[in-house]
Chain A
């Protein structure tokens, strides 16, 4: 999967979990720029991304994946 495709899919997850339009989400979006990306929202997002890519982050990774860029990079590593 190309990095563009990964971004598209992650963006869709972010959009559906936080009910946003996809065009409001960029690689630079983080938990600070997106409303409702709180600790609970983070769990929902992680679950959605794991389901979308059929991957499983480690317990150590989960609390650190606080930006779209980090999410994409980490997903890419698993798909690698």
Chain B
């Protein structure tokens, strides 16, 4: 990730602290650090070094004095200029922390236009600007200071000696937050949260104590579990898939999940479960198989250190954090988990949980249908392919970042990358939506095609693995071929770049009529382009 750091104070130690935290996300950072307090020039000048650097992320770190020197409108103007000046980047700007106390503190909220009130206005202005500008987001330093306290976050010695905004400890904490934000922009995100039941979602052992006696309520000690579940529900609603892995009797556990008055998470929230007496490692692998997800996209929460160690040692790729020993700390712990963070929630994110339930229904139809053909035609599948636009860039970028299995080239793109290619006439950025009688799957595929004279190059072609095997990928490829032909190309070049995970796409090009020439696959666009007969392909979106 290329990151340009524009700062109004000495932040030279900051990149090093962020770098230490990047490997945990599987990322590395490459920095351009603008000279101290040159951020305006960097934003305004078209040939500033930070522009030549072509960063994915612009980190705008402004201290309180600097932020408070702006009127809310002029701060908004600055962010608008930053948004336009770095159109292909994500711009992150921090909130005002207003932590340094001033004499006469009782007046702070009780005098018009006090510093404290100004700070609140500035932060609201940041939020308004970020919501209006598609590539600007706010990084909440005030929250970090509130969490750890001004006494620890600041060190007046370094402030006076070196104009440093934060103490060594404070620097580590804002670097932690920045690393999480960088990972969110890069789309590094776990997909599935697997949960234990006893002493995790509720207090006590269900099988021994019974549903009436487990600790789970909206009051007292049981409220910690209730609040914990509320936090987990937030993850579900923003696109994280939930599953259960628990040693319990399935009937008893599902009964409690459905009928306990204070369960927040019900059956409808879980995409899969293994509630039995089989060991957790075997169960975890079974859940991964059922959901067709890699175990490296799993996070597992269990109160038992023994089970955690067992899963960790047998499946090192699963993330298994230590739940706090005291359940009262569960809600705070859940809120602070760094695994599922994102700056934008796409429509697919909010619908993901539901779509996994629909998937279960499709497999039921599949099991009862007498033939594959009967199954496919009974689904009445509709696919539509359209050029990406402002509304769909986030989802297209997300697909390039998250799709590992059915992905010919596994090239990762940020929203900025997608936007700039879509604006370029030499590129076609297409996406596919799919729906059928069971439900609407939303955007399930993305393709990037580069047009060079009469040759089209398939830079990226991917389809979400949950819709594979129904002809959707063939229909989408046919539409892409048609689009290249319509753009005046004679031939479509494609490639397959093998990774550890995309083996399932290996034979796709050959099977679709491409001819292999060395490393390259070639499709003659003069040929008849064929679409799967059971799929209705439309140009208009179905939703």
Contacts and interface: CB of A to CB of B under 8 A. Distances in A.
B161 A62 contact: yes
Contacts of B162: 39, 43
A80 to B, nearest CB: 21
Size category, A interface: 10 to 19
A44 B167 CA distance: 11
A59 B168 contact: no
B157 A59 contact: yes
A43 B158 CA distance: 8
Nearest to A39: B162
B311 to A, nearest CB: 34
A40 B12 contact: yes
Contacts of B136: none
Contacts, number: 21
Main secondary structure of the interface of B (DSSP, over half): helix
B164 interface: yes
A50 B167 CA distance: 12
A40 B156 CA distance: 17
A2 to B, nearest CB: 27
Contact of A59 (B12, B13, B161): B161
Interface in B136-155: none
Interface in A38-60: 39-40, 43-44, 47, 50-51, 57-59
Interface string B1-43: 0000000000011000000000000000000000000000000
Given A40-B12, A43-B13, A44-B13, A51 B168 contact: yes
Contact of B168 (A47, A62, A63): A47
Nearest to A61: B157
A42 to B, nearest CB: 9
Contacts of B160: 59
- Which of A40, A47, A50 has the most chain B CB atoms closer than 10 A to its own CB? A47
Contacts of A47: 168
Across the A-B interface, give the 9 residue pairs with the lowest CB-CB distance, nearest first.
A47-B168, A59-B157, A40-B12, A43-B162, A62-B161, A59-B160, A59-B161, A62-B157, A44-B13
Interface of A: 39-40, 43-44, 47, 50-51, 57-59, 62-63
Interface of B: 12-13, 156-158, 160-162, 164, 168
Given A43-B161, A43-B164, 4 more contacts: A43-B162, A44-B13, A47-B168, A59-B157
